[in-house]
Structure 1
Amino acid sequence: MAEPESTEHRTETDRIPADEPPSCSSLTTKELQQNWREVKKRERPVRLLFEIPSTRIIEHVLSKHVVYEVVVMRSGSFDSRRVSVERRYSDFLRFHHKLLEEFNEELEEVVFPRKLLSRNFCPELISERRLALQDYLAKLFATRCVRYSPHFPKFFTESEQKRAHSLLRAGQFQLAVKDLQTVLEVEEKLLPWQNPTLIVPTLSALAVCYRDLEQPEQAFAAAQRALPPTRRYGLKRYRASLLDLLVDLGYQLGRPVAQLQEELTVLRDAERGEVSSRSLKELVVHEFT
């Protein structure tokens, strides 16, 4: 009778690779439960969380108002990029009215914090409203039609986007970059629920600012990132202008640009008269006017 084969004589194919997880039969109940928790954590859907951690009172000569810091972050994993914007109660109110025009029935059970007729600057009432607005945003995000609506990202980005483009038109590119970076970070958090072209105008504006700030590497990177969604979703005017900028910057940086040049030539030859011949800067300047 042959003796059992020694484990020392097993071939490489018989051995379990070190990087493979152990089989279920070799795990204890505790280890199985831990593995299951890790799998569930990875599969947990990412959501947006909204926090209003602080407020401040802005006083003018004849008036004053409260602004709320709105922090946008993702759940599911540690989000180190907590981006925030500031909004007044009147901004929330306009946003709510726009949503009601389109989603009145869907928002029937979403309560908007009532307007205060007096004691608007009482610390206790400001704190109460702060929490109510935070809860309001969470309920909006939980409403599918609102979550996918273009009104949703506009509330968090439109003010900064308009201010950035005003600064850009005034030649204050460094200040414009600061607002555009905030807008881009918010848009990136919203992308799973929004059209991927959402970031194209922002990246295009950043490319223009960086170029005028004589930072060609950053300008090239922003334009390069904006190009794929313009190709995929047929944004003809942006595509030609981005390609033109990338070719120009590519020559300046010593990058290979032959394919980009060929793509631009083919695009303009195939759709002559339909493709914008304006520079990216000309396009960006006329945005958000």
Structure 2
Amino acid sequence: MASKLLDRLRRTLFKEGEVVASEPIDVPEDSFPESSELDDTECLSERLGGTLCFDGESAMESEDPGEASGPDSDSDFLGESVEDGFSSTDTSPVDLSPGVSSLLTCQLQESWRSLSCTVPEKLVFEVTDASVVPESSSKYVLYTIHVIQSGMFDKTPAVITRRYTDFERLHSRLRRRHGDHMERVCFPRKRLRKNFVAETIAKRSRAFEQYLTHMHSLAELRRSPTFLEFFYLGDLQAGQMLMRVGRYQEALGPLLNGLRLQEKLGCEQQGKQQPHHQQGTHWLFTLLALVTCFQELEQLGEAQEHCDRALRDVAPSPEALQQHLFHPLLIPLLQTNVRLSWKISKDKRRWEVLLQEIQDSGADVGNQPSLKEYLMKENLVESEGNTKAKVKRDDTT
């Protein structure tokens, strides 16, 4: 019986976005629309061919503008699959003995763990709100988009708010930098009329969800600084501005959201691999900004946690340490972490030893800039048009 249930579970689990079942499933045609339309652009979304466009006619007939875009995570679908499996006539879930039930539960859990490793994690972009915002003599629509990690229950979804012109600017920059990948991607033109009616806003919401999903599905674009900074850079700039005027409590909101966005977009791994790259600099800035804000707010445990996390990213190898090849902020980071660890009675020996090794090597550990000074002076600008300036600043560090 257990083997039959496991076999049915395997066949009902989805893989790479497709549902495989032993029997045909009757699903309404409008439950999973294959494409979304926007304005009067007449194209077709060809996911397998690597193209995203919008069909202005067919979607109008088959799609409800107010309909949600689908399940937020794979866990919801798994629950439905297991439920369907137990309702099948192939199994009899009643009158199971405790031993058989326990064994079955263990086997199901083990099966899910092994299968989940083969399902690649991806991001879900869901427009949860769209509101018309007046601006002097004009107005615009502001879209609220949740960025959710699929394949797991995401307790901390990140949020961005963007308007049409933000997406238009992103598309233009991606076309300049990645023309080959953007060649067949159509972006909707602006409309002269009906930009603020519910139907247009709903269609655009669905279209922007598909647009971001498509961009993220392409490895070259997914790693592009232009695409990544579209999500998180505004939060970092807002947090820095609030820190400069001493509003540390208010700065925590955008900084924490920026951290979650970078985590979901994979900037942490890029930062570890290339600490002096733009994304590595932004990642470290975020952690240090949170250290400073939590310190100022006397939340020392949270400050030490983020400081420790930053140190794990920039800690040098023994070979690099011998050659004095380490991050310019390593010494002030070590000093801050040792001090915080002492205040909260946390083990600090590892970092004390590293700091002593650096001092023994002849480095000046007494004349170091504070983390706050670095954060206030750092120029957070977009990568486009700033490459030369960034390289020059790194060389003089």
TM-score, normalising length: structure 1: 0.82
- Is 1:257 matched up with 2:348? yes
Letter in 2 for 1:218: E
Letter in 2 for 1:92: F
How far, CA to CA, are the matches of 2:136 and 2:232 in structure 1?
A: 28
How far, CA to CA, are the matches of 1:105 and 1:155 in structure 2?
A: 20
Provide Cα deviations, 1:47-97, integer angstroms capped at 9, x if missing partner: 111111221111133332211111101111222322211011111122112
1:93-104 mapped onto 2 (5 Å cutoff): 93-104=168-179
Deviation, structure 1 residue 45: 0.7
Select the residue among 292, 299, 308 that pairs with 1:208: 292
1:261-280 mapped onto 2 (5 Å cutoff): 261-267=352-358, 270=361, 272=363, 277-280=368-371
Secondary structure in structure 2 of the residue aligned to 1:237: coil
Alpha carbon RMSD of aligned pairs, Å?
A: 2.6
Equivalent pairs: percent with the same residue? 29
1:95-244 mapped onto 2 (5 Å cutoff): 95-191=170-266, 195-197=270-272, 198=280, 199-231=283-315, 236-244=327-335
8 Å Cα contact 1:161-1:288 kept in structure 2: no
How far, CA to CA, are the matches of 2:173 and 2:362 in structure 1?
A: 38
- Is 1:287 matched up with 2:378? yes
Report the CA distance shift for 1:133/1:113 in structure 2 as closer, same or farther (over 3 A). farther
Report the CA distance shift for 1:253/1:41 in structure 2 as closer, same or farther (over 3 A). closer
- Is 1:34 matched up with 2:9? yes
Letter in 2 for 1:257: K
How far, CA to CA, are the matches of 1:235 and 1:69 in structure 2?
A: 40
Provide Cα deviations, 1:30-54, integer angstroms capped at 9, x if missing partner: 4344368533333201011111122
8 Å Cα contact 1:150-1:194 kept in structure 2: no
- Is 1:62 matched up with 2:137? yes
Provide Cα deviations, 1:224-260, integer angstroms capped at 9, x if missing partner: 1111111269761232221111122123223333432
TM-score, normalising length: structure 2: 0.61
8 Å Cα contact 1:70-1:84 kept in structure 2: yes
Letter in 1 for 2:214: K
8 Å Cα contact 2:287-2:306 kept in structure 1: yes
Number of residue equivalences: 264
Q: Which ranges of structure 2 fall in alignment gaps of 5 or more residues?
A: 14-111, 273-279, 318-324, 381-397
How far, CA to CA, are the matches of 2:130 and 2:221 in structure 1?
A: 25
Which segments of structure 1 move beyond 6 Å, counting only runs of 4 or more? 273-276
8 Å Cα contact 1:165-1:288 kept in structure 2: no
8 Å Cα contact 1:243-1:264 kept in structure 2: yes
How far, CA to CA, are the matches of 1:160 and 1:120 in structure 2?
A: 27
Deviation, structure 1 residue 139: 1.0
User: Which protein is richer in helix relative to its size?
Assistant: 1
